[in-house]
Structure 1
């Protein structure tokens, strides 16, 4: 594809997306489905005007998906309702730990015994496909700061954490393939990749988010009308939290998510302590009051001031990456193995792991069913796969896993995209 034609396509798509926002909101299709259809049309599936080879461009795709996931995790963390409590976060924590482990295990067994992959490759594939996606699942994500709707909160919070909790299983799969050091009896994996990396990533995120909140508030309160560039501060927090985590071998995705959560929670406490401005909305509870007060003072908070910019970046990135996904697929990419794996993930692994993971909680059966269904796979899965390829995954195995993963992600965009609006509408009416 020529450079001129590429700019025309992307520019035209941006114009069409900007002009049809209201139409798409009322339409049964999602924006991701539209981008995917255009990618399939222009790619080798139909017109063959361009072809994106993820194996040859693994480094580029890894960087692009990494940036997109980081921005999405920050946006998700900023919108978490306050305050944090174990009762409210119990279900997402169980989903990001117990259900994540069960999903990886079930996919690994399926990949090993049905698809004939080595056990290490099966665990790696399970880790690639287990995390739910904070990028493509916008219709089931928290809409705004303070959104307390249980389904959206659970799915958003889970997606924010399981993009980090999948990393230990990625490293376990690579280790079983001889591409990562696990240590004797896998002791190094347990101590470093599981315990240290998880605790350190969470701690870095909580500390860096709180530090920025106090620093920004201190500068604003020291001088009248002191201006800060909230967009720069938000991006800077992402970079610092992620960079520190990489330096100490911690999971950076967890750090960025919890940095955003900590930033918002700390700013809520500061606003609650200092602001005496009456709210525009009569709150029904103390929790609502805190969220409304931060919304009223969005111009005085880094989290509120940077959120819109991050969401715009997220939408633009979603468009580009889903367009590239469509441009990777050939007609012969649609194998029975890949479709069978996708159906197993959607209809067996995800629902079963969710129902088992939430045993003993007060989560309603209806909520469990919807959480089990809306396990959207997307950009995060592509990042983990490119990460594995960059760590020396053998070419033949890499080709196999690329084909499987792309079909699972494509079917997730289509199947979950078609069902999201009717199911969400019905759920909100009940």
Structure 2
């Protein structure tokens, strides 16, 4: 059988991003086969290497965001660094960065500078607030974008209530998906039209996209939706606790699913009760219906209810904790969890790839790199000889000392 290359094999990315948003995007590009070279400051490298390091020296934060990449060190402020960058991007396809807006321009590495070296370059900027307006030059982190986007007020219950922030770095993670999307789109545009270009994807724009349903409703009607933490969309689009104490979800949007649900629950009375005969009645009597369902679901175990609802073609599923996620073979069969090799840990599990391809292979290529592990090899590939490399090391432009390792506290 012919083994096809990975979807982005042959694409070369020079990655200057740090922390979460940009690195997660470039890790996804690496998953798809791109050659991603992570360029870091000598010394401690990406500050993400020091966030949440465990007792065994393993940094889950850095590993999740930088698997599959190579690493070299380069002090962009040092004399001689611009020459190295020019060599790096001369045959690169993509440059990614998320420095404070204007920083790279100030040191001669802005888009207008580098497109002179490589007109086909996709110069991808990951910003806080977008390229225009008074906020464009300001720095940002996830919580800042969440607050400005309206999400924290909505999650807190509406105007006048205490704001609530979403977990997991939501602006960063959503922004990273859109960053990768923008990069791949720009690469396709280049293949169609022959032009490189600069793109900007912001945390703020990502948060508005994430809230498109609620925000669109407000823009059209002026109605500000109120989200209640811990509260579901409706009694039939919700989560319940079964008799064994385990939780599960069900999601009914199609009115035609109501009768099969009542049959699966052995509750024909709900089908005939005027308080629940149609979606509008079920909405108006939500508290009563929720109470009825809660009592019913106490009569069987979670697995029994799931089996009954699956047989009735009701969308449903278990509510898992992380241990149950890791133990369920479904996630491994689909590649959502994977176990790539790691130089320091015999058993190494990672979050995998959420996209499957029938022909072009994808996989987590390797663990996150140690700081500067590929510096000398990359410089040799760029045409530097050993005396040149020694000079760059001695002058502080580069370094090969593996400080701030993602794998072990060495």
TM-score in terms of structure 2 length: 0.23
Higher relative contact order (CA 8 A, sep 6+): 1
Q: Counting helix residues as a fraction of each chain, which structure ranks higher?
A: 1
Structure ID, larger Rg: 2
TM-score with structure 1 setting the length? 0.22
